[in-house]
Amino acid sequence: MILGIETSCDETSVALLDSDGTVRVNLIASQIERHRPFGGVVPEIASREHLQHLFPLVSRALDDVHASWSDIEKIAVTAGPGLIGALLVGVAGAQGLSYALGVPLIAVNHLEGHLFSPYLQRDGAAVPLPDRFLSFVISGGHSSIYDVRGGEVTMLNRTRDDAIGETFDKVAKFIGLPYPGGPQIEKRACDGRIDRDRFPFPMPQFKDQSLDFSYSGIKAEAIRSARQQKIRVEGDPRALADFCATFQEALFAQLFDRLDAIWSRLREPMPAQVVMAGGVAANGALRDKIIAWGEGRGVIVRLPEKRYCTDNAAMIAFAGLQRTAMAGDPRRVTARSRVA
């Protein structure tokens, strides 16, 4: 079995996977309630919480699957990117365990964890990775589309300013919704109507034809119109719902604008699948949209189960397994320069 450890941000997570990628257990100790009074993640609180929860969580995971310490054959841990103090708790803990148990330690890039997470499904059992797929990583810290070919990862674009999840969180905070903002906005948007005349959000385009994302313009417009039209959580619920529906739609429209442009620039052999990962990929409206996009083009779309969209250790262990499987392969997993 492989033990996965994730402590890069505000969730302490521990998972045990069989070596074929089957998830035996995936535990998450969320700190959201501890950070909520501050409207965002407080790094010092995050580190302390990880320290408190990490080892009890590993013991509980072993108990849950009736396994013992000697069943752990290797350990995968998130080594970055993330909050430095939070990462240190996970890495130091994993190093100690690796030394004590005499098992190898695999340092995993958090983004690689998200990138491969759509293949962690079907009741926990992994499905085979295609030769080529496009992967969106859309979370609180990242917004990028990657081209994954034979295990080699190429970043095709990235955000020039805010990440999409960060934009959800900041605008939600401005209108008085609790952290994290994404699920809160989604909930309000369900009852809303898209009204682009009332809320005219921009579609950013760059003069140099770059396909990068940019969310600061939508954020600024959201804050401007919310202030001007007095959109608040304690205000008119209809107006709030319409605002959330239109704002969310504008954020997603940009994802599809870039996807269409990237798709038209790709050369054969075309990617067999398009996948989405990261916290924002848990959004129901977005999931429906990407499924419809795939149906329209005859492209298979894969989405992680919602519990594997937000940060979790199962995806870290799974990426660790991918990495070891590819260790003898010259096509190594590395994030290379952008091509778009």
In the complex, the residues that contact Zn ion under the rule CB under 5 A are 139, 311
> Residue 98 or 184: which CB sits closer to ligand KG4?
184
| DSSP H or E stretch at residue 57 | helix 43-64
In the complex, the smallest distance separating the C-beta of residue 177 from Zn ion, rounded to whole angstroms, is 21
Among ligand KG4, Zn ion, none, partner that 106 touches (CB below 5 to 8 angstroms by kind): none
In the complex, the smallest distance separating the C-beta of residue 215 from ligand KG4, rounded to whole angstroms, is 11
Q: Give me 270's structure tokens.
A: 């075309």
In the complex, the smallest distance separating the C-beta of residue 268 from ligand KG4, rounded to whole angstroms, is 32
Asked if 186 interacts with ligand KG4 (CB under 6 A), we say yes
d(CA 151, CA 5): 22
In the complex, the smallest distance separating the C-beta of residue 229 from ligand KG4, rounded to whole angstroms, is 22
* Residue whose C-alpha is closest to residue 318's, from 95, 128, 134: 128
* Inter-residue long-range contacts of 49-52, CB under 8 Å, 24+ positions, other chains counted: 49/10, 49/12, 50/7, 50/12, 50/86, 50/89, 50/90, 51/89
Asked if 182 interacts with ligand KG4 (CB under 6 A), we say yes
Among ligand KG4, Zn ion, none, partner that 280 touches (CB below 5 to 8 angstroms by kind): ligand KG4
Among ligand KG4, Zn ion, none, partner that 118 touches (CB below 5 to 8 angstroms by kind): none
Pick from 9, 76, 89, 126 the residue near ligand KG4 by CB under 6 A. Answer: 9
Size of the site for ligand KG4 (CB under 6 A): 20
Asked if 310 interacts with ligand KG4 (CB under 6 A), we say yes
d(CA 35, CA 253): 30
Report CA-CA distances (Å) from 197 to 34, 154, 190, 225: 39, 38, 19, 12
In the complex, the smallest distance separating the C-beta of residue 7 from Zn ion, rounded to whole angstroms, is 12
Asked if 280 interacts with ligand KG4 (CB under 6 A), we say yes
Pick from 146, 168, 213, 308 the residue near ligand KG4 by CB under 6 A. Answer: 168
Among Zn ion, ligand KG4, none, partner that 162 touches (CB below 5 to 8 angstroms by kind): none
Burial grade of 184 (CB within 10 A; 0-12, 13-18, 19 or more): buried
In the complex, the smallest distance separating the C-beta of residue 41 from ligand KG4, rounded to whole angstroms, is 9
DSSP string over 251-291: HHHHHHHHHHHHHHH--SSPPSEEEEESGGGG-HHHHHHHH
Pick from 90, 151, 180, 304 the residue near ligand KG4 by CB under 6 A. Answer: 180
Instruction: Say which DSSP state 100 is in.
Output: H
What part of residues 103-162 is at the interface with ligand KG4 (CB under 6 A)? 139-141
Alpha helices in 81-203 (DSSP H): 84-101, 110-116, 164-174, 181-189
* Residue whose C-alpha is closest to residue 161's, from 141, 178, 176, 139: 141
In the complex, the smallest distance separating the C-beta of residue 280 from ligand KG4, rounded to whole angstroms, is 4
Tell me the one-letter amino acid at 250. Answer: A
Q: Give me 212's structure tokens.
A: 């990068």
Among Zn ion, ligand KG4, none, partner that 147 touches (CB below 5 to 8 angstroms by kind): none
Binding site residues, ligand KG4, CB under 6 A: 9, 139-141, 165-166, 168-169, 180-183, 186, 278-280, 282-283, 310-311
